[in-house]
Amino acid sequence: METVSENRCFGGVQGVYKHASSVCKCDMTFAVFLPAEAAHGPVPVLWYLSGLTCTHENAMTKAGAQAWAAEHGIALVFPDTSPRGADVADDDAFDLGQGAGFYVNATQGPWAPHFQMWDYVTAELPDLLASQFALDMGSQSITGHSMGGHGALTIAMSLPGRFRSVSAFAPICHPTASDWGRKQFTAYLGSDHALWQGHDATLLMQKGGFDGPALIDTGTDDQFGDLLGTEHLANAMAGRRQEGTLRLQKGYDHSYFFISTFMEDHITFHAEALYQ
């Protein structure tokens, strides 16, 4: 693992790191914020999965998360959204290819050799973090934005017992019924719709839900509202009697201004679960 940078931040350290990924078969970059408490022992972990076109850097610099994480003594992990490099397949569209991994393991060419983001986020990167940082991997929660909200919800519901809590900012809620999902799932997973169902938060909520509390925020002026399918997830949560809260925030859009406004709420929500 190579240290790209480390900066003092709210009494802790904001670092950026690079390593050779065996599952994605390329170099991957990620960021970790360690609060001051990490100097004395392992601390709880909050994962933040980013959305389309983002890298590890967007949330690290725009979300304002470190101040609230430092207050609660929580580490933040910011993975990249896809494999990258000259040998990695890409597409001219912003919502497919590099920057748009959708947190799935691709089975179709030309994506399959590198686009293994599910295994990267759920297995390889956690193992690396556990070996390199003072993190309590028995006390984890997960959040994300847009495509990353989709990833956070689907990963949390698919791995019972892994995460204490889950939240999302404007997540893609029902990708099998949306242009943000059908296009990417066809490209990455092929035409077998049965393979898509494990990556749809609404279907997973209907099937089994999440074994902990959930918090979801979406803006009423989100410019991508028709693609998100928020109402489908809301109905599934109600039908499932899922422990959680889904809020429609008046006047907010899809931007990091929206995310930073409600980041304190989300980190406080996760802190309550992580320190139970």
Q: Mark whether 254 is an active-site residue.
A: yes
- How is residue 126 written in tokens? 């956690």
Nearest to 255 by CA among 62, 93, 46: 62
Angle CA 67–101–261, to nearest 5: 25
- Alpha-carbon gap, residue 209 to 9, rounded angstroms: 36
Considering 56, 165, 222, 232, which one is annotated as catalytic?
222
Provide the pairing of β-strand 244-249 with 214-219: parallel
| Catalytic site residue from 174, 199, 254, 270 | 254
Would residue 146 show up in a list of annotated catalytic residues for this protein?
Answer: yes
Would you give the DSSP letter of residue 39?
G
Catalytic residue among 82, 139, 141, 146: 146
Residue with tokens 């994506």: 111
Provide DSSP, 242-259.
-SEEEEEETT--SSHHHH
Catalytic residue positions, numbered: 146, 222, 254
